[in-house]
Structure 1
Amino acid sequence: MEVTADGQCKYRTSLPVAQFSRGDFSLWSVLKNCVGKELSKIAMPVVFNEPLSFLQRMLEYLEYAHLLRMASEQTDPVARMEYIAAFAVSALASNWERLGKPFNPLLGETFELERPEFRAVCEQVSHHPPVSAFHADSQHFVFHGSVHPKIKFCGKSVEFQPKGHVTVELPRWGEAYTWSNVNCCVHNVIVGKLWIEQYGVMEVLCHGGAGLRANLTFKPAGFQNRDLHRVDGFIVDPSKKKLKFLYGKWTEFIKSADAGAHEAWARGRDERETPAHTPKKVLAKFNSFKQGALRSMSMQDSDEPDNSDDVPKPDETYNIDIPGSTTLWEAKPRPTNSSQYYQFTEFAMSLNELERDMKGQLCPTDSRLRPDVRMLEQGDIDGAAAEKTRLEEKQRTTRKSMKKATDGWQPRWFSQGTNPYTKQEDWLYNGGYWDRNYQHLKDIDIF
Structure 2
Amino acid sequence: MNSEEEFYDAETGLESDDSGEVSFKDALVLEHKQAATQENGVWERRKTLPAEMISRNNFSVWSILKKCIGMELSKIAMPVEFNEPLSFLQRISEYMEHTQLIHKACTLSDSIDRMQVVAAFAVSAVASQWERTGKPFNPLLGETYELIREDEGYRLISEQVSHHPPVSAFHAQSLKQEFEFHGSIYPKLKFWGKSVEAEPKGTMTLELLKHKEAYTWINPMCCVHNIILGKLWIEQYGTVEIVNHSTGDKCVLNFKPCGMFGKELHKVEGYIQDKSKKKRRVIYGKWTECMYSVDPKVYEAYKKTGGDSKKLRQEQSCEGEEADEMPEVQDTVTVIPGSALLWRMTPPPANSAQMYSFTSFAMTLNELEPGMERLMASTDCRLRPDIRAMENGDIESANTEKERLEEKQRASRRDRSKDEEEWSTRWFNLGTNPHTGAEDWLYTGGYFDRNYADCPSIY
TM-score by shorter chain over 0.5: yes
Q: 2:121 aligns with which of 82, 87, 94?
A: 87
* C-alpha displacement of 1:389: 1.0
After superposing the two structures, state which structure 1 stretch, 30-39 or 240-249, moved more.
30-39
1:436 alignment partner in structure 2: 450
Structure ranking higher in helix proportion: 1
Q: Which residue of 2 aligns with 1:77?
A: 111
Q: What is the aligned counterpart of 1:314 among 329, 339, 342?
A: 329
Deviations 1:365-388 (A, max 9, x none): 000000100000011101101111
CA distance, structure 2, for counterparts of residue 228 and residue 100 of structure 1: 21
Q: Deviations over 1:256-306 (max 9, x none)?
A: 111111111111117x88xxxxxxxxxxxxxxxxxxxxxxx97xx9xxx95
Distance 2:105 2:222 in 1: 26
Give the total of aligned pairs. 414
Map Cα deviations across residues 196-243 of structure 1 (whole Å, 9 max, x no partner).
Answer: 0110000000011x2111000000112431111000100011222110
The one-letter amino acid paired with 2:121 is: F
Equivalent residue in structure 2 for 1:352, among 366, 378, 394:
366
Deviations 1:138-164 (A, max 9, x none): 022100110011121111100112201
1:210-249 to 2 correspondence within 5 Å?
210-249=247-286
Aligned-partner Cα distance in 2 for 1:197–1:309: 11
Using a 3 Å threshold, how does the CA distance of structure 1 residues 443 and 306 change in structure 2: closer, same or farther? farther
Superposition map of 1:43-62 within 5 A: 43-62=77-96
1:362 maps to what in 2?
376
In structure 1, the residue corresponding to 2:306 is in which secondary structure? helix
Compared CA separation, residues 147 and 309, structure 1 to 2 (3 A): closer
Aligned to 1:290: none
Stretch moving more, 428-437 or 239-248: 239-248
- Aligned match of 2:400 in 345, 366, 386? 386
AA in 2 matched with 1:345 = T
SS at match of 2:51: coil
Indicate if the aligned counterparts of 2:220 and 2:238 stay in contact, CA closer than 8 A: yes
Change (3 A) 1:329 1:150: same
2:292 match: 255
Partner secondary structure for residue 172 of structure 1: coil
Equivalent position to 2:171, from 112, 116, 135: 135
- The reply on whether 1:160 has 2:198 as its aligned counterpart is yes
TM superposition shift of 1:5: 9.2
Q: Which residue of 2 aligns with 1:423?
A: 437
Match of 1:288 in 2: none
Over 3 Å counting, the alpha-carbon distance change for 1:331 and 1:131 in structure 2 is: same
Quick check: 1:182 aligned with 2:220?
A: yes
CA distance in 1, matches of 2:38, 2:156: 23
| 1:123 partnered with 2:159 | yes
Counterpart CA distance in 2 for 1:259 and 1:146 is 34
Q: Counterparts of 1:374 and 1:155 in 2: how far apart (Å)?
A: 32
Q: Do the aligned partners of residues 25 and 396 (structure 1) sit closer, same or farther apart at CA in structure 2, a change above 3 Å counting? A: same
Once the two structures are TM-superposed, the CA of residue 10 in structure 1 deviates from its matched residue by 2.8
Q: Say if 2:137 is the partner of 1:103.
A: yes
Contact 1:145 1:166 in 2 (8 A): yes
Determine whether 1:114 maps to 2:141: no
Q: Is the 8 A contact 1:221 1:229 kept in 2?
A: yes
Unaligned runs of at least 5 residues, structure 1:
274-296
Per-residue deviation at 1:309?
6.8
Separation in 2, partners of 1:163, 1:306: 32
Letter in 1 for 2:224: V
Distance 2:295 2:169 in 1: 36
Q: Secondary structure at the match of 2:411?
A: helix
Q: 1:130 to 1:3 in 2, by over 3 A?
A: farther
* Amino acid aligned to 1:114: I
Q: 1:65 aligns with which of 99, 104, 123?
A: 99
Q: 1:20 aligned to 2:54?
A: yes
**Equivalent-residue separation in structure 2 for 1:68 and 1:27 (angstroms):** 39
Contact 2:235 2:257 in 1 (8 A): yes
2:200 counterpart SS class: strand
CA distance in 2, matches of 1:8, 1:239: 53
Using the TM superposition, give the Cα deviation of residue 88 of structure 1 relative to its aligned residue in structure 2, in angstroms.
0.2
Q: Which amino acid letter does the alignment assign opposite residue 261 of structure 1? A: V
Is 1:412 paired with 2:426?
A: yes
Measure the CA separation in 1 of the matches of 2:40 and 2:209: 31
Seen in structure 2, the aligned counterparts of structure 1 residues 94 and 319 have a Cα distance that, compared at 3 Å, is closer
Residues in 2 aligned to 1:4 and 1:136: alpha-carbon distance in whole angstroms: 30
Relative distance call for 1:9 and 1:166 in structure 2 (3 A) is farther
Change (3 A) 1:4 1:420: farther
Coordinate RMSD, CA, aligned = 2.1
How much has 1:24 moved relative to structure 2? 1.7
Percentage identity across aligned positions?
54
Deviations 1:151-210 (A, max 9, x none): 2111110011220101000111111000000111011112111110110000000011x2
**1:319 and 1:376, CA in 2 relative to 1: closer, same or farther beyond 3 A?**
closer
Q: What amino acid sits opposite 2:453 in the alignment?
A: Q
Structure 2 counterpart SS, 1:247: strand
- 8 A contact 2:286–2:333 mirrored in 1: no
Letter in 2 for 1:162: P
**Corresponding residue SS for 1:400:** helix
Amino acid at match of 1:126: S
Counterpart in 2 of 1:292?
none
Specify the SS of the correspondent of 2:268: strand
Q: Is the 8 A contact 2:285 2:333 kept in 1?
A: no
Q: Sort the Cα spacing of 1:243 and 1:6 in 2 relative to 1 into closer, same or farther, 3 A.
A: farther
Unaligned runs of 5+ in 2: 1-31, 310-316
Q: Which amino acid aligns with 2:434?
A: P
2:210 match: secondary structure: helix
Deviation at 1:400, TM superposition (A): 1.8
Structure-2-length-normalised TM-score: 0.86
3-state secondary structure, aligned to 2:353: helix
Asked if the contact 1:366–1:444 (Cα under 8 Å) also holds between the matched residues in 2, the reply is no
Equivalent residue in structure 2 for 1:372, among 376, 380, 386? 386
Per the alignment, in what secondary structure is the counterpart of residue 257 of structure 2?
A: coil
